[in-house]
Amino acid sequence: MFNLKLHPFEVSANFKLSLVLTYSFKSESLKDFIPECLELDTLNGDTGFMAAAFVQTENLRPRILPEILGEDFILIGYRIFVRYKTSYGKRLRGLYILKSETDKIRMKIGGNLFTNYNYSKTDIKFSESSDLINIVSEKSGINIKAEVLDGYEGLPAESPFKDIKEARRFSGPLPFTFSYLKDSDEMLIVEGVRSNWKPKPVKIIESEIKFINSIDSGKGKLANAFLVKDTPYYWKKGIKDKILKRE
C-alpha cells in the first residue's frame, strides 16, 4: 500500500525569516530521543545539540505548482543534530525531528498527511522592528527576543563553541532530515536544497522555550543563534534507505 507520509513529492517555499536557536546538552541526555540507527553529531563526543527553528515561510507548495498557489505559514521544528551511515557506505550529517508546530490547521493536516514530523497547531506570533525580532506563543510556552546587530560575531555566555566558525557547524538546517520507518526498518531521507544561505549570528536577549526546558530537567544551554532572511528553499522527494545490520 502506498504510504503518503513518505514525503512523496518535492516542496518549495521562500524563507522570509528563519531564526534557529541551538542548545547544548550532555550527549547521554539526548541518546534516548533518537533511534539506534542514528548517532548523535557531537562536539568532542560528550556534547550533543538540539535546535529550535522558527521559520516564516512564503508560497509553500508542491514544487510542481506555481508560486501563486502557495500559502504562507509559520513553522516551528525541534530537532537533534545526528549522523547516519547509508547502506551504500556514505556518512550524512542531518537532523532528526522530534516535533513540529505551525500557526494554521491546513499546515498541520498537510504536514501530518505527507510527513512524519508530528505537527500540531499553536498560537505562534512574530513581530519585527528594525533591529529586534520577537516570537511569542502562550500555548507553546515560547518567548524569544533577538537583537540583530551589524557585524555581531558573539556567542551566548554558556556556549561550548570556541568561536563563531565552530558554531556555524551546528547552525542548521543541515542538508538532510531523517525519519526512521520502524515497520520496514528503513530510513527516510529528505534532502533540502537552499540558495543565498548566509546565516547571521544574532544576540538573544530572552529565550524561553517550554519544550527545550522539558529536556533533561532544563539543563540545556544556549549555544548559538543564527538568522537567515529571504532565502529560496526546497525539499526533495523522500528516499528510503535500508538500515545496515546492527552489530
Look at the pTM and tell me if it is higher than 0.75. yes
Q: What angle do CA 213, 215, 218 make, to 5 degrees?
A: 45
132-137 β-sheet, strand order: 125-128, 132-137, 142-147, 203-209
Contact by Cβ (8 Å): 92, 73 = no
Instruction: Determine the longest span between alpha carbons in the chain, in angstroms.
Output: 54
Q: Ramachandran region of residue 166, left (φ > 0), alpha (ψ -120 to 50) or beta? A: alpha
pLDDT computed for residue 2 by the predictor: 62
pLDDT in tens for each of the 247 residues of the chain? 568 899 999 999 999 999 999 999 999 999 999 999 999 999 999 999 999 999 999 999 999 999 999 999 999 999 999 999 999 999 999 999 999 999 999 999 999 999 999 999 999 999 999 899 999 999 999 999 999 999 999 999 999 999 999 999 998 778 999 999 999 999 999 999 998 888 999 999 999 999 999 999 999 999 999 999 999 999 999 999 999 865 5
Nearest to 178 by CA among 240, 136, 100: 240
Rounded CA separation 16/126 (Å): 12
Query: What is the four-CA torsion angle of 92, 49, 225, 170, rounded to 10 degrees?
Result: -30
DSSP classification of residue 135: E
pLDDT computed for residue 174 by the predictor: 85
Domains and CATH numbers, the chain: 11-242 (2.40.400.10)
